[in-house]
């Protein structure tokens, strides 16, 4: 594997122009785009898990579908998971593989949230839905046979933005969390980091898609620190784990977040995966590094406890 090119496992994917995520022309149907994008992501293999149960929970904009993944039938801690997709794509099925792997690797029950999507629903609709799902999870923890005092939040890409925004709300409202897990998070609406410029084309996630995603989700919320997380106060957040990919436009904003968290004296671990592209953790059929990255985050989450000692980053 060359240091200046993505892993050859992605050669066919990157060579297919249909797989590039970009802003669509006005005449293209959003329904059709979602169908195609979601079908590709949902094609990942589905590892065994002890049980999955779908629920519908009350939310500020109507019922919110959630899916509960249990790695064991014993009582466990929990992870609330927010899927990626640029705030525009994604559902419970697109991230079924990641959630199964995360539950198995962490030993925690994963609760995935099917939040409202943009552009139909602007900021903070997705964040509000995630918060409603967390409130339901905490209220129903005993019936779900979960430890209500051991809950983490996690997400990939746009889901990382939602997870971090939710953690900030929880901190401000005195709601305890024991970890934040962020897989190549989407954080900076400016999208002007060195990696965003360097990998703007040719690495599946494009600059035009990022511009579209931020425009679709922004609404009137551009001045809110929960929207532009590069301006958020990161003090007193729980232990955080961040995964980045070498050839990802979002690489530098995730790594900048890790530095800011360290400056705020948050227990943070960062791991960059060489040769990887954005979305690799959802592609175990192409690379074993997908499950390695999830296992890294899962191990840190599994070891977390509220108010506990610093966690090893190894």
Catalytic residue numbers, as ranges: 157, 248, 278
Q: What Å distances lie between residue 232 and 12, 136, 175, CA to CA?
A: 39, 26, 18
> CA torsion, points 155, 156, 160, 166, in degrees to nearest 10?
-20
């Amino acid at each position: 594997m060359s240091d200046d090119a993505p892993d050859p496992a992605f050669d066919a994917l990157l060579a297919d122009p249909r797989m590039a995520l970009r802003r669509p022309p006005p005449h293209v149907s959003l329904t059709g785009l979602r169908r195609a994008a979601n079908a590709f992501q949902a094609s990942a293999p589905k590892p065994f898990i002890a049980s999955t149960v779908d629920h519908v929970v009350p939310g500020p904009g109507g019922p919110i579908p959630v899916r509960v993944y249990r790695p064991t039938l014993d009582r466990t801690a929990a992870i609330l998971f927010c899927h990626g997709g640029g705030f525009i794509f994604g559902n419970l099925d697109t991230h079924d593989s990641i959630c199964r792997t995360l539950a198995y690797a962490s030993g925690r029950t994963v609760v995935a949230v099917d939040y409202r999507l943009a552009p139909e629903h602007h900021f903070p609709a997705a964040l509000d839905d995630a918060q409603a799902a967390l409130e339901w999870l905490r209220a129903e923890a005993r019936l779900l046979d979960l430890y209500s005092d051991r809950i983490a939040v996690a997400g990939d890409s746009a889901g990382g933005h939602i997870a971090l925004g939710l953690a900030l709300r929880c901190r401000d409202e005195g709601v305890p969390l024991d970890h934040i897990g962020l897989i190549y998070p989407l954080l900076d609406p400016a999208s002007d980091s060195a990696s965003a410029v360097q990998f703007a084309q040719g690495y599946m996630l494009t600059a035009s898609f990022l511009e579209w995603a931020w425009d679709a989700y922004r609404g009137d919320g551009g001045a809110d620190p929960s929207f532009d997380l590069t301006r958020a106060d990161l003090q007193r957040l729980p232990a955080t784990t961040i995964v980045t990919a070498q050839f990802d436009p979002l690489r530098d904003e995730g790594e900048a977040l890790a530095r800011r968290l360290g400056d705020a004296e948050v227990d943070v671990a960062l791991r960059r995966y060489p040769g990887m592209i954005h979305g690799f953790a959802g592609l175990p059929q192409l690379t074993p590094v997908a499950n390695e990255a999830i296992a890294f985050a899962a191990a840190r989450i599994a070891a977390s406890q509220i108010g506990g000692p610093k966690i090893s980053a190894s």
